[in-house]
Amino acid sequence: MTNIEELIIEYKKLICKSYEEPNTKSIIQNFGKFNGSLRYVAPRYIHLVKEEQGANAAEYILKSILEMSKKFMAILGDYGSGKTSLCHYILYQLCKDSDSTVIPFYIPLGKLLRTKTASPDLKKDIYDYINKTYKINSNYDEFVTFVQQKKLILLLDGLDEVSNNPKEEIFKNNFKQLLELSQESSVVLTSRHTYLTHDLEEKLGNEVIKIEDFTDKEISLFIKLRFNDPVKSNKVLEQIQSDTIFQMMAIYDLSRNNFFKKTIMIVFLLLVF
């Protein structure tokens, strides 16, 4: 076993540990705060090209990228709809098999490409980010050679955080390089749906899904799993479904959004308990 193989195995173990144990210090921001291995609720989705609906976005994405040797997928959703949580869950699932030939990395594009100049070599920038963040201490040529023999999966999160204006030439250059990455690896790219222009959306290809808001049943399941306490979860559900709060804050509708669900839970933990 080579040095880089050992590093990849240790990296996967660290990802799994930090996702399964909320108190473990993580190398990824906001990763595994609620033990997502047991409590994650996958959103439903709409396939925008095929015009089909699905019950579990995570299962669909995992199945798709593992069955294809090279793949480009786009995940669209409103702010706070759960795109990042979905990427984290997929990363965890792909890392569970430490001996697998699949090598996944989560890359927050806002940190990688938030710059006033176009990247001259996006692949090199991604390698530098992986090397620095995940401690895969290898030289560039060695890393490229290694992943070419495996199945590299890049979870590129937050295209809308790269630039305030998707019409800028700098953004267009970076976007072009992002699309080209799928020639050598599998790519999952997330973005706010409202951020993309019609021209950009057309360039995403045939695998474009949009995350759906939670149903009443999914809201209930999410809260029960996150609190892991029937008394507390039932009390919170009663509060967010109450007529008074609904009329004053429209809080039940807000709870369909993944970001606001978490915010609401924190508020009720402070106020109710």
SS3 29: coil
What is the spatial distance between Cα 245 and Cα 147, in angstroms, rounded to a whole number?
52
**What's 138's DSSP letter?**
-
Q: Is 247's pLDDT higher than 50?
A: no
Q: pLDDT: is 58 or 246 the higher one?
A: 58
pLDDT band at 174 (very low <50, low <70, confident <90, very high): confident
How is the chain split among helix, strand and coil, in percent rounded to 5? Answer: 55, 15, 30
Q: Where are the domains of the chain?
A: 3-211, 216-272
CATH number of 3-211: 3.40.50.300
81-92 pLDDT per residue, tens:
889 999 999 999
